[in-house]
Chains A and B, each alone.
Chain A
Amino acid sequence: MREFISKYGLIAVLLALPVFYGVKDLVDDGNLAHLGQNLFQGLSNGSIWALIAVGYTLVYGIIELINFAHGDVFMIGSFVAAGLFGTVGLGLATGVGGLVPGLLLVLVICMATCGALNVMIERVAYRPLRSAPKLAPLITAVGFSFILQNVGLLWVGGSPASVPDLIHAQQDVFTFLGITVQRADLLAIFVTIPLVVAATLFISRSRLGKAMRATAQDPDAARLMGISVDTTISLTFLLGGMLAGAAGLIYALYQTTVWYFQGFQAGLIAFTAAVMGGIGNLRGAVLGGLIIGCIQFISDDRIGPQWTPAIVFAYLVLIMVFRPQGLIGEETREAG
């Protein structure tokens, strides 16, 4: 009964904003095009959060650590991408023929860099503390987040830097049911979906994925079964970092600006998404990312962007307090 109330209570709370403004639109405009536009943009932006949230959820699933630096790894990914555009010869004039291979190259480099960075962070800041109280690695994670932010600050400076609008992000592609679809939206959706599907398949099908799940369930038993726990954890960080790197590139193309502070905000939003979906649950993280994206866009558009962080955080608090297992998480059994 409690379970029922908390689950559907959460769904009702999540639906409150869209339903309220949907009714308002119907009264004001007679149709839902405005809300539809909000939701569509929310989905496309949310798919970036989903990529980051998957990284959070993977790491949490395996070592129960909130990898606070994850958002900043994503930020570094954006910076790498923005820095590489010129290097690989991509400019505003580059046509589709040059753009696709160029961006693919940048994507691979971003993913590799962020994956390696994430593995390095685990090695330096988390692994030595594996037997320490749980709060110890969380503190080093916050510390690393600050270090990376400072790297970003020194790299690009204190204010947002603009990135060449390679894909002409704001250009409309088509309009459907009153919803305008821009190039940026297509990019976000069409890069995210294959990556998330690939990551999910990797974890559910491959041998390494099985090792990851085994380690997540019981590291000691996994070790007895001949699984190298250290390697498996490194691999998890690699995978999470790679997805964050991809998200970094998409973000740079999508927003056409990068900022050292973007990772902190994105990290918290993506963490909210991961918790909303049920931390440790891949599909949940994706779902959470998409929902948070929608809430954000509705809030930006209707309430005012300056209040959006407060609204997202209010959702975070509500979910953590009233339904910490998220939308599709399961209650874990305690040893007893």
Chain B
Amino acid sequence: MAARAASFRRGFAFNPSPAVSRALALALAAFAIVYPLLLDPISGLLDDSVVALAYVIMGLGLNVVVGFAGLLDLGYVAFFAIGAFSVGWFMSTFYADANIHVLVSSNVHNLPGIHLNFLLVIVIAAVLCALAGMLIGLPTLRLRGDYIAIVTLAFGEIIRVFAVNGDSVHVFGNGYPLTNGRQGITPVDQLDLPFVKPFTQLDLRPWYWLVLTLVFIVLFVVIRLRDSRLGRAWVAVREDEVAAASMGVPLVKTKLLAYTVGGAIGGVAGAFLAAYLNTVNADQFAFSFSIFVLAMIILGGLGSIWGVVLGAIVLSFINNRLIPDVLNSVPGKLGLDFNLSDLGFGIFGFLLVIVMVLRPEGLLPERRRKLELTEGVGTDDALYEVRA
């Protein structure tokens, strides 16, 4: 019985040869590209797919911080917020006193406010989030892992408080509040990219292909980084800080780069989501979102790029489809009177516990992480004496 359980667990492990996995990846990419043609351009499934891919980007970003560098970040929602606000600030009529238009088409030319091209805004979002990542990272890096987790959580909550109450904060004078409070900033400019028709909510395919392009770019970046000098330094720092520092790896710089890269990727996803959802809603930036993204990468497999892709897609479909559409009718049938969409975060909490206890390496484990989590390789010793 025990042997069967063990072989069952091993049966899950997915270790194809490089050639096979490359072919598999190409086939998947090809399918991902043609997939929307199989669907109605405004179908709910396509809508959920767009959101799922945006979550994939989020997951890949958080995975750099938690999976690669081993820094538990419980405030990742901060980057969603900053990315989304980049869209709110620079792609809407929110700052109506300003009148700035950069590389935008005629349909927003006559509107007041700041209107930048989305491609510019995405870069701004990435840069702002990279800076925020550094800002959040810098003071935390001397701390032990669990303290880092709490400090990032606190930063995330502080940013949420500012998002919700920012309508009374005027940094650049009276017409320029930080946020629009709970009302949110809506609508934001429709996307208008070079060489394609302006995006509308009536045809979701261009959105899909845009976010898919972003996914491909982010995948390329994280794979290249994983297999680089920096990627090795991340693993070294995660496994044994003392040995890593003694081998010439600068701890602070290495960890900061993880926060910076992870933050920038989160900012890209946040900007896209704000544009796609056509709103910057301050109430979205809650702690539970950070845990939602964390659950994706834990389920998929910490550190495993393909695991994270899978985990993000699975969880976002559970969140957007399964819970509201399918499960909601269940309690009624059973004679219970609660709304199952309320169960969302309980399910993610349950997933975190179950996966961590029963299969900590996730669905598609990364080889190293599996060893660390199941064989106890690595050490939690931290360098308290070394200055940041």
Interface residues in chain A, defined as those with a beta carbon under 8 Å from any beta carbon in chain B: 64-66, 124-125, 128-129, 131-140, 142-147, 149-151, 153-154, 158, 264, 268, 271, 306-307, 309-310, 313-314, 316-317, 320-321, 324, 334
Contact = CB atoms under 8 A, between A and B. Distances in A.
Interface string B147-158: 101110111011
Given A310-B162, A334-B384, A146 B143 contact: no
A135 B149 contact: yes
Contacts of A144: 349, 353
Contacts of A65: 146
B139 A133 contact: no
B74 interface: yes
A320 B150 contact: yes
Contact of A321 (B143, B380, B385): B143
A66 B150 contact: yes
Interface residues of B, number: 51
A149 B72 contact: no
A260 to B, nearest CB: 10
Contacts of A314: 154, 158
A307 B162 CA distance: 8
A20 B112 CA distance: 42
Contacts of B165: 306-307
Nearest to B372: A133
Contact of A140 (B147, B162, B352): B352
A143 B343 contact: no
A61 to B, nearest CB: 14
7 contacts: A129-B357, A135-B145, A142-B291, A146-B291, A146-B346, A153-B342, A153-B346
A307 B360 CA distance: 38
What's the dominant secondary structure at chain A's contact region?
A: helix
B176 interface: no
Contacts, number: 140
A160 to B, nearest CB: 16
Given A142-B291, A316-B154, A317-B155, A306 B164 contact: yes
A142 B292 CA distance: 11
Contacts of B357: 124-125, 128-129, 140
A145 B150 contact: no
A314 B162 CA distance: 12
A134 B378 CA distance: 11
B338 A154 contact: yes
Given A133-B376, A149-B346, A320-B151, 20 more contacts: A125-B356, A131-B376, A133-B70, A135-B72, A136-B360, A143-B356, A146-B288, A146-B349, A147-B346, A147-B353, A149-B345, A150-B345, A150-B347, A151-B346, A268-B154, A268-B157, A310-B157, A316-B154, A321-B139, A324-B143
A139 B72 contact: yes
Contacts of A146: 288, 291, 345-346, 348-350, 352
B287 A264 contact: yes
Nearest to A332: B384
Contact of A139 (B142, B342, B352, B380): B352
A330 to B, nearest CB: 13
B380 A129 contact: no
Contacts of B279: none
A150 B350 CA distance: 10
B356 A136 contact: yes
Contacts of A317: 139, 151, 154-155, 158
Interface of B: 70, 72, 74, 139-140, 142-147, 149-151, 153-155, 157-158, 161-162, 164-165, 287-288, 291, 294, 298, 338, 342-343, 345-353, 356-357, 360, 372-373, 376, 378, 380-381, 384-385
Contacts of A310: 157-158, 161-162
A298 to B, nearest CB: 17
A263 to B, nearest CB: 12
Nearest to A331: B384
A316 B151 contact: yes
A306 B157 CA distance: 12
Given A146-B291, A150-B346, A321-B142, A134 B380 contact: yes
A135 B143 CA distance: 13
A5 B154 CA distance: 24
Nearest to A334: B384
Given A125-B357, A146-B345, A321-B151, A139 B298 contact: yes
- Among A125, A139, A144, A147, chain B packs the most CB atoms within 10 A around the CB of A139
Contacts of A309: 157-158, 161
A143 B143 contact: no
A137 B356 CA distance: 8
Given A135-B149, A142-B349, A321-B139, A150 B343 contact: yes
Contacts of B351: 143
B142 A313 contact: no
B380 A133 contact: yes
Contacts of A306: 161, 164-165
A142 B150 contact: no
Nearest to A315: B154
A124 B142 CA distance: 32
Contacts of B153: 268
A271 B150 contact: yes
A306 B162 CA distance: 9
B161 A138 contact: no
A147 B350 contact: yes
A125 B356 CA distance: 8
Contacts of B164: 306
Given A129-B356, A142-B291, A143-B353, A154 B376 contact: no
A140 B342 CA distance: 20
- 6 shortest interchain CB distances as A-B pairs: A150-B346, A146-B349, A143-B352, A313-B154, A310-B161, A143-B353
